[in-house]
Amino acid sequence: MSKVALTANPLLQPIQGIVTEILLGVVLLVLVYYIKRNLVSSTKDFVIANRKIGFGYGVAGLISIWTWAMAVMMSSAMTYSYGLSGLFWFTVPNGLAVIAVIPFARKARSLMPNGYTIPEFVRARFEGTRLAVGVVVLGALFGSLIEVIINIKGTALVAYNVFGVDPKVAALTGLAVVLMYSILGGLWASVSTSTLATLLHSVPSAVIVVAALSQAGGAGAVWGAVAEQGQGLLSVTRADAATGFGITLALGLLTATIAGQEFWQVAWGLKKKDVSRTFLWAGAWFYPIPICLGVLGLIGVALHVDVNKALGGDAAAIGPYLISHLGLPLWIVILYAVVILSACYSVIDSAFTAISSVFVVDIVKPLAPSIQERGLFLWAKIPMAIAAVIAVVVVLSGVDFVTIVLTSYAIRTAILIPLVLSLFWKRMTGAGFVWGTLAAIAIGMPIRSVYGELWGSVAILSISAVIPLVSGLLAHEAFDFDRLKRVADATESSRGATLPPSAVRVIS
């Protein structure tokens, strides 16, 4: 392995990074333009794809929406840091988190067939409990905004590490490209570009890994060099991977999918018969992408890449570093950049669409119930631009966005169990939802800051479960779930989205 020299590819120039970003955007824009002309003519088409997403587009779309830039890079990074145990604890919960949505998506779709968003469901489920809706709206908006920021930072990271592009220029370019096509097509644009992106995550990843193995001396040399180092690097049973990040990551991933508007909007956007199998196939066929790219981490271990000297202390850079320093042909380096950029773009467009649907259904529509379709269609696009501007300000100013991350994390984790109970337990009350969520945040976040993420998450989940359960058992009320079926379609301007009175009956 000592014969392999790691040197920067002299052919790589910043302009290539910018051109790659723009060209990828142009290809996606052409696709979205066709979709805009043929499939998107109303607010309902824009925010929920008129509930006509089919099996194939659903599977491919979900795979790509869940393949964050960080997922592409972290699978290599975790393998590099913990060996195969790192890859195991990173990958297995990731796919399972998508599959875990099935019972909730299925239930949400059957209970409220005309639904759009999580806050809309909460409003209909706990009629009159405005605080609950406010908390959930805040969680949804912050959650999506943070996805935009993290993935735009991913764009900047790969453009900088591979091509030497100024990170701010790379971030601005990527954001402008995604905003342009997202504003044209909404959820249809997100799902269709993500379908193309899934092809870009899978086939190129196989080519890149096979080429990298060859360039690093062959699979035998790589495997032998890793095995020589011992330390359980070729075992999936290292406990430090589970305690170091695995368990916490698994909890976070489940929260991100089950309480994530990006997944609920797809659940409501799919054709009814395809909901369950789409989530199953998406979770199952997501697995190969991180499994394949994890091999880059083993190559990093085999070549003794120094995390501090070569990667600036950030293991996430192991993939971009290896690909740009192994002496691979320029086209393979660009192909790797396309894999990561397409992952960034597909997550950002999905987050833009989630922000749009929450804004339209949970802010504009309740404030202006009689708004006309034309106005509503316009308002569906404006929040995407606002989110892009906020993301640009955060990225360009270099401001620490930890507060946004923590707020988003706290709300999503705190609403997870109340949300699940709201779907399946008729005795769940609005007071239980509100106080369970707020108490979990108020008590759990200080615990998190003192005792770490794992204990913080356990505290938040426990408190948010106990309070609603006690409240529900004491209240003697039962919600009539059938009433959710009669909630009107929110984007049909002539009707509101409220329930008729007496949705709750007292249990004698």
- Report the nearest approach of another protein to the CB of residue 310 (Å): 22
Nearer to another protein, 319 or 432 (CB): 319
- Report the nearest approach of another protein to the CB of residue 89 (Å): 10
Pick from 371, 106, 319, 327: nearest CA to 215? 327
Instruction: Give the end-to-end CA distance of the chain in Å, rounded to a whole number.
Output: 76
- Report the nearest approach of another protein to the CB of residue 441 (Å): 31
Residue 320 · residue 157 · CB < 8 Å: yes
Nearer to another protein, 8 or 385 (CB): 8
- Report the nearest approach of another protein to the CB of residue 449 (Å): 33
Distance CA 49, CA 32 (A): 13
Distance CA 252, CA 245 (A): 10
Residue 430 · residue 478 · CB < 8 Å: no
Over its C-alpha atoms, the chain yields an Rg (Å, rounded) of: 23
Distance CA 436, CA 427 (A): 14
Distance CA 397, CA 391 (A): 10
Reduced to 3 states (helix: H, G, I; strand: E, B; else coil), residue 161 is helix
- Report the nearest approach of another protein to the CB of residue 37 (Å): 9
- Report the nearest approach of another protein to the CB of residue 404 (Å): 32
Nearer to another protein, 109 or 448 (CB): 109
Distance CA 148, CA 392 (A): 10
- Report the nearest approach of another protein to the CB of residue 231 (Å): 13
Reduced to 3 states (helix: H, G, I; strand: E, B; else coil), residue 270 is strand
CB neighbours (10 Å) of residue 309? 8
Nearer to another protein, 296 or 337 (CB): 296
Paired with 477 in beta bridges are 506
Nearer to another protein, 281 or 359 (CB): 281
